[in-house]
Structure formats: structure tokens, C-alpha cells
Chain A
């Protein structure tokens, strides 16, 4: 009885892959045309590139992606699709409170990488 309850409350296993879809043909993501950023990712992680259904480009999946890696994968997608990675640091801003300044790095990390 107790065991059954514990079993039921256990969370189902989560996938260890983080995946994005990119408007690029799989052939552009392998072999000699493989982007440097993707090659660097592949040095640290298991990376899988597959054709997306419906002409939607490629699916890039990265195993065991931590916050930093997720940020890198998103940047890679943006670079491939738009040619650059958007910068939001260095924009106009008014007076930041002390609390705002102290909390900012953690806040930025959370909004940027997300809690998984």
C-alpha cells in the first residue's frame, strides 16, 4: 500500500536531451560544412542531427545540456538562421536599485537559461 503510493508519486523519468529545430538542411550541419559552434558542442556532448518532418529543416539534439549549453544551442540556431546572435546587454537603462543590481546576474541567468 505504502509502496504503491510512493511508486505513484515518483516522477516519470525525464529525457536528457535538449532539442531545437533549425531552418537548415542536415547536409549543412555535417561533414566539412559543419559550423564551428556545432563542432565545439560535439566535443563536450553527444549531439544528434536529424531531418525534421515537413521540410522544417533539421532537429539538433544535445545530450545532458546544462544551462550554459542550452544557451549555446539557442545561439547556434539563431546564428544559422539569422546570421547573428541578438545582444541585449548595453542598452539604455534608468537607475537600478541596489537590490536590482545585486539580484540581476541570477535573474538574468534564470530568464536566459530557464530552470529545467
Chain B
């Protein structure tokens, strides 16, 4: 079959690879109908995640049809259309039982890397390096899904692939960002980053009753998209963010600050130059500008909810602001299994539509082009989605 593989730093190519087969009794094979790029892939592409090997199949945000199930799969059936959570849970360990699915104890067969770096390892993720389990990704005609009963969710018939594909990753991540901040009526929420994740965090905050959501980015088309969802756009290249947020909140600062940018944060000024230089020589692994800003901006006693991915060390972390303002810092890879059923239900009722994120439907063969558009944010690309059946 055809699959999009990582072949080196900022290099991907479409190759012939063997088809997947069932490797465990609780596996399912899914025929991929749509598979999206995600901001998390950029950290792999840029070579910041060391545990990639040339030939690894990329992709973790996808929807498809179940074509085969292992003998111990009880719920899923061939023929079902399913959204699969990007992060793999087992459903039985302490963390999965508590709803903290991305902390699953059992789905990362390669915990060594993270244990050394972070003390403990988190769950396996499709197409996301050998440090995250070494699972083949979904930018392919077929993908193998472990523990299929808990990771694959039937999609209501009236929800199109164009929306259902994002129920795999971007929507539940955004939903979790608002949930971790316990967003509710009366809250003012600020969201850093208007990619797929930030857009969905803004939408979730509004659905949870936030009074006002301020969406921060520099790309006009992304700011417009957030505005169309009901958020107030803020362009950080033309407006001083900390200043503006104070003014917009009567001096208080946002109640909840959601960071949806991550370690490759862009910026202006001396601090950005300093971050880039240190990251380039690996004195820090992650650039922390938007994270620092979120902490600085947050109102006293508020919550900072970090969705952006960080791998290791961030320099100049404002511990003093966190401590003296009594902030709550919450974070994590998404616990999708907790949110996906609610999200698909709301999609079916017309309360969530994620399809505007899909700006570039493409064939798998156009994968390299799709990643270039997405990485460089060209042509208004918010998410390129590969449809293997498309030619």
C-alpha cells in the first residue's frame, strides 16, 4: 500500500510499504478515509523529537472504516465508520480508569526514552516516534488500531469525514483545554495560537459558556476563522498582547489562559532571538514565549492550561509569577477517549462543526506538498487532510 513516511529532517515521501496486519487479539484494521496533518507533526518534521527513524509512517488524526477485527474485539465490527483517538489507551490501567487516557501505563512499549527524560512514560501515539511507542501512523491506506474497543468510536451517519476526522485530535484537545481550565459562564478566556487546536479550544470555551474568548495569532486567515467562531481576534505582531489583554479585561487579566502553540513558538523581539539561539544549540529544547506570556497575562488565581507540546526544557520559566499570583497550571496530551463520544454526539446535533479547519483536502500522493503548505502556513492552510482513495 502507499504511505507517507518521514525520511529525514523536513523531508517526507510517499512510499510503497507492506500492509498492516492484526498483531494483537484486541486489534482492528481500519481503512483510512481521511488523515490530517497536525501541529504536533511539525516537531517531528523539524527533528526535535530524536526517536524518529527514516521510514516511519506519519499521521495520527484520522477517520476510516473498520475492515477486520481480532478475536478479542467485542464492540467494533467490520463496516463501521470510526474516528480513532490519536493517543492510544488500554482502558484497564489505573490511569485509563480515571479518565486520564494519555497517561496510560500499557500502550507505550518503548518507555525507556521518556522515563529517562521525564521520570515516567506516557501513552503510545500513532505515527509519533519510537519514544511514543513506535506505532505506524495513519497517512496510509490502512492502519492497525490496538485495543480497538476503547480507541475507535463509531461516527454518526450525519457527521461527514470533514468534521469527524478532527474528533480524533484537534477537537478533543481543544475541549480538554477548556475543561482543564473549568471554563464557565462569566469567564474571559484567552487562547494563544489559532491552529486547529486553538480554534477548537476557543469553540469549546464558548460552548462551555465563556463570556468572551480572545484568540491570539498573527495569520489574518486564522484570526478570521476564530472570529467566525465567535472569538475576538488579537494580532500579536501589531498589538502588545499583555497590554491589550489588561485593557480588554478591566485590568484583571483573563480568567483562563489556554496555550495552544507549543515548543516552536514564534515571536518578535529580543526574547525570541534568545530562545531561537539557545534552541538551535540545544541549550534549551523548547521555545517558551507564548507560555511565558500566558502566565504573565493570567489573572491572579487563574488557570493556565497548556495544550501546546513541550518536550524538555524551557528557559526563563516565570516561576515567580506562577507562585505569587497563585496560578493553577494544568496540562497534558489529550485524554481523547473521555471527550470523543460527547464531541461526536454534539457534531451530530449540529452544535460543533470542525469542518472549517479542513482547508486543503488532498491525495496521499500530495503529502509532501500538504506538509509544506501546513508548515509554512501558505495558501491559508490550517489543516491539510489526505484522502487515500482520492487520486
Contacts and interface: CB of A to CB of B under 8 A. Distances in A.
Contacts of B130: 107-108, 111
Interface string B130-172: 1101111000101010110000000000000000000000000
Given A97-B54, A112-B109, A84 B15 contact: no
A91 B143 CA distance: 9
B357 interface: no
Contacts of B54: 94-97, 100
Given A82-B90, A94-B7, A111-B112, A87 B23 contact: yes
Q: Which 7 A-B pairs have the closest CB atoms?
A: A114-B112, A94-B5, A111-B110, A94-B55, A94-B15, A91-B136, A92-B17
Interface in B47-103: 51, 53-57, 72, 90-94, 97
Q: Dominant SS at the A interface?
A: loop
B24 A92 contact: no
Interface stretch (A8-16, A26-34, A41-49, A73-81): A73-81
Contact residues on A (Cβ < 8 Å of other chain), bracket: 20 to 34
A25 B17 CA distance: 44
A86 B107 contact: yes
Given A77-B106, A87-B23, A88-B135, A56 B94 contact: yes
Nearest to B91: A82
B115 interface: yes
Given A88-B134, A108-B130, A114-B111, A94 B147 contact: no
B144 A91 contact: yes
A4 to B, nearest CB: 30
Interface of B: 1, 3, 5, 7, 13, 15, 17-21, 23-26, 51, 53-57, 72, 90-94, 97, 105-107, 109-113, 115-116, 124, 130-131, 133-136, 140, 142, 144, 146-147
A39 interface: no
Given A86-B24, A92-B1, A92-B20, A81 B113 contact: no
B19 A92 contact: yes
Contacts, number: 126
Interface of A: 21, 23, 56-57, 74, 77-78, 81-97, 100, 104, 107-108, 110-115
Contacts of B56: 93-94
A100 B136 CA distance: 16
Contact of A90 (B21, B111, B113, B142): B21
Given A94-B17, A110-B113, A112-B111, 16 more contacts: A23-B93, A74-B111, A77-B105, A78-B106, A81-B93, A83-B25, A88-B135, A90-B21, A91-B20, A92-B57, A94-B56, A96-B53, A96-B55, A111-B131, A112-B112, A114-B116
A82 B147 contact: yes
Contacts of A104: 53
Contacts of B90: 78, 81-82
